[in-house]
Amino acid sequence: MIDGYTRVCGVIGNPVEHTMSPTIHNTLARKLGHNLVYVPLRVEREQAQEAVRGAYALNLLGLNVTVPFKRDVIPALTQIDGLAEQIGAVNTLVRVKSGFKGYNTDMPGLYRAMCSDKVRLEGEKVVLLGAGGVARAVAFLCVSKNVSRVYVLNRSIEKARALALEVGEKTGKDCLYPMALSDYENLPEEKFLAIQATSLGMYPNTRSAVIEDEAFYRKIHTGYELIFNPARTRFMELVQAQGGRAFNGLKMLLYQGIIAYELWNQISVSEELAGEVYEVMKNKS
């Protein structure tokens, strides 16, 4: 029941109408008995910083931030977490004295999802497909987890090179190898973990993959797709057709939300409860 003691959280974005985040947070609140409600909040791009300041004035407990605002809101923050500052993007705002502190729970969420799926990052050789904002965050995650090396494959090799240079300068680690996407045949004859960090294959263009060649997928022991709609992408199909394991991005969405909920409420969510929320999400996706 919503009353005068109900704490309010939400997600700002544009568009935001089809977000699954309310399913995550309102399910958690219900199962944990918290007097909390979570709502989607559509904001125009030029008003992102005003929205953050307004949310604080309205006593909101916390916010999630989705596209296209993950960078736009940063100047309106009072504090920013080290990982979020390094990545240059926030997706979770936590109420602190005099404002909000920004966090990036996407990458810790991806890591917890991988751990849940028993996918190892530490010491792994990774093929990262893409060099955009999501891939950039994944690259920082890979370096922070001490992967052996990351081959960054992108249509524009200049963008892949810029990403490798930036990550190297910010982390002091030289383990990113930029490659043109068309040069995938030059990958070493080894087995890799491939992380698909482009938007290709997302609904409604579900029959597309950045690489279609079966020979590429024979080098992939595990494919991790960051898209969750559709539940089984063309990339995943191609990985599985060559005997590899494949996972979609629904658990990443789950865990980035769980980490946000933990930060807002200063609690720890059990894996058992995470599994219950995941089942609710699967039924709604």
Strands 62-65 and 92-96: antiparallel
Domains, the chain, in order of start with CATH, read: 7-104+251-284 (3.40.50.10860), 108-248 (3.40.50.720)
Catalytic annotation on 70? yes
Q: What percent of the chain has pLDDT over 70?
A: 100
Average pLDDT on 86-99 reads: 95
pLDDT confidence band for 236 (50 / 70 / 90): very high
Beta-bridge partner residues of 38: 9
Give the dihedral sign, CA 211/144/65/73: negative
Average pLDDT on 48-68 reads: 97
Would you state the pLDDT for residue 210?
97
Average pLDDT on 231-244 reads: 97
Average pLDDT on 188-197 reads: 97
Average pLDDT on 245-265 reads: 98
Average pLDDT on 97-110 reads: 96
Query: In this model, does residue 1 exceed pLDDT 90?
Result: no
Residue the block writes with tokens 């080290």: 82
Which tokens go with 267? 């609690």
From 208, 255, 216, 256, select the one nearest 239 (Cα to Cα): 216
pTM beyond cutoff 0.85: yes
pLDDT confidence band for 123 (50 / 70 / 90): very high
Would you state the pLDDT for residue 284?
87
Average pLDDT on 62-85 reads: 96
Instruction: Say how far apart CA 230 and CA 203 lie, in whole Å.
Output: 6
Would you state the pLDDT for residue 285?
78
Query: In this model, does residue 203 exceed pLDDT 90?
Result: no
Catalytic residue among 31, 70, 159, 170: 70
Would you state the pLDDT for residue 19?
95
Strands 36-42 and 79-80: unpaired
Query: In this model, does residue 104 exceed pLDDT 90?
Result: yes
